[in-house]
Amino acid sequence: MSVQQAVASVASAAQPQQPIAPGAPLPHRKVIRSWITPLAERRTAIAIVLLVIDWVVFAALIAGTIVFESWWAKLLCGLAAGFTIGRLFIIGHDACHQSYTPHRGLNKLLGRIAMLPSLTPYSLWEVGHNVVHHGYTNLKGVDFVWAPLTKEEFDALSPARRLLERIYRSGWGPALYYLIEMWWLRMFFPRKTYMGTRRPEFIWDGVFVLVVGLLWIAGMVWAAMATGQPVWLQVLMGFVVPFVFWNGMIGFVVYVHHTHPAVQWHDDKLAWAKAAPFVSTTVHLVFPLRIGALMHHIMEHTAHHVDMSVPLYKLKQAQKKLEEMLPGRIIVQRFSWKWYFDTARRCKLYDFSRRCWTDFRGRPTSEPAPAYA
């Protein structure tokens, strides 16, 4: 048992394991974490097996885009490869949190290997996600992931930028949002405007994924020429389709994790801290047909924000425990396309004075959130 787990066990033993009544004050975050930290048992063997399986599947699907002659079979393989990139990225995400295996150096190695197909620079993701997003979830001005504009900010934009924001928030724009706002501006050799600092590690990780991307494209060109297929078709199906699908997948995932009519954003740090943001700003999205399991349980997202040390293969149990102990406090949403597009219709901008979501005209589209000033 690790020191962290031992401390959590002591804290858990000191607190009665009784569900918290809906109207009662939330206990301290340390107490809430103590309920699930005992589940944070990281296993090297299962971690490596999961990574190898997903890499083999990804390689087989890319090979399928070469082997199959019909365009529709190539397309299906390309789309499935994009989904597998998402699975690999979730593994890399866990490794970046040091929650994948018990070994720090191994996590860094496995994380970089897992993030290769998504062309994600490991060190840049580590800073932007671990430090900024998890440290200040849904705090405007710090957390930049799908941060909503106010009516005043939206009106001050250029016509072209307003159009882009409308596309992003239309429900059809997650791929474009992540590709531009996250990967291109904040991951692919970002300017100091976006990162605030430069480190040699950032540059080398950027060079690393750039070389991987160029080699991937070159491999598709070579495969097309070797098999007598159109180069443009092979590059499209073997590189562009998987990469675009991956961007759509991750853009969608991060959107639904923290965008919901019942989710509050904050522009005041004190009020944000009082709102228990590790519980109140995340959504547990429930899918049919075990689709959540296919995404390595990343949708059991409240548990992940409460305790980042819980590995992906323990998130389901951790989320269940939280929902048992905090009845009515955690946003649990059954997924449907009707719900998704209704959310996209309602959650356009945010009014921080009225604490509610609005449309692009500034009209409220959600109930006012509680005040925590």
Residue 229 in this model has a pLDDT that exceeds 90 = yes
Q: Can you tell me the distance from the alpha carbon of 285 to that of 331, in angstroms, rounded to the nearest whole number?
A: 8
CA proximity to 253, closest of 321, 182, 153: 182
Q: What is the pLDDT of residues 343-363, one digit of tens each?
A: 999 999 999 999 999 999 999
Residue 358 and residue 364 in contact, taking contact as beta carbons nearer than 8 Å: yes
Average pLDDT estimate for 13-34? 79
Residue 262 belongs to some domain of the structure? yes
Q: Can you tell me the distance from the alpha carbon of 277 to that of 283, in angstroms, rounded to the nearest whole number?
A: 11
Residue 318 belongs to some domain of the structure? no
Residue 116 belongs to some domain of the structure? yes
Residue 243 in this model has a pLDDT that exceeds 60 = yes
Q: What is the pLDDT of residue 26?
A: 85
Q: Can you tell me the distance from the alpha carbon of 309 to that of 37, in angstroms, rounded to the nearest whole number?
A: 7
Q: What is the pLDDT of residue 10?
A: 46
Q: What is the pLDDT of residues 150-206, one digit of tens each?
A: 999 999 999 999 999 999 999 999 999 999 999 999 998 888 777 767 788 999 999
Domain span holding position 129: 42-311
Would strands 283-286 and 331-334 be described as parallel, antiparallel, or unpaired? parallel
Residue 163 belongs to some domain of the structure? yes
Residue 288 belongs to some domain of the structure? yes
Considering the chain, what is the average pLDDT of its residues? 92
Q: How many separate domains does the chain show?
A: 1
Q: What is the pLDDT of residue 320?
A: 95
Beta bridge partners of 334: 286
Q: What is the pLDDT of residues 39-58, one digit of tens each?
A: 888 999 999 999 999 999 99
Q: What is the pLDDT of residue 2?
A: 53
For the chain, how big is the Rg over CA atoms in Å? 21
Average pLDDT estimate for 126-144? 93
Q: Can you tell me the distance from the alpha carbon of 329 to that of 275, in angstroms, rounded to the nearest whole number?
A: 12
CA proximity to 122, closest of 133, 131, 132, 113: 113
Residue 34 in this model has a pLDDT that exceeds 60 = yes
Residue 128 in this model has a pLDDT that exceeds 60 = yes
Structure tokens at 177: 């949002």
Band of pLDDT at residue 373, cut at 50, 70 and 90: low
Average pLDDT estimate for 237-244? 98
Q: What is the pLDDT of residues 264-318, one digit of tens each?
A: 999 999 999 988 888 889 999 999 988 999 999 999 999 999 999 999 999 999 9
Q: What is the pLDDT of residues 169-182, one digit of tens each?
A: 999 999 999 999 99
Residue 258 belongs to some domain of the structure? yes
Residue 34 belongs to some domain of the structure? no
Residue 325 belongs to some domain of the structure? no
Q: Can you tell me the distance from the alpha carbon of 282 to that of 277, in angstroms, rounded to the nearest whole number?
A: 8
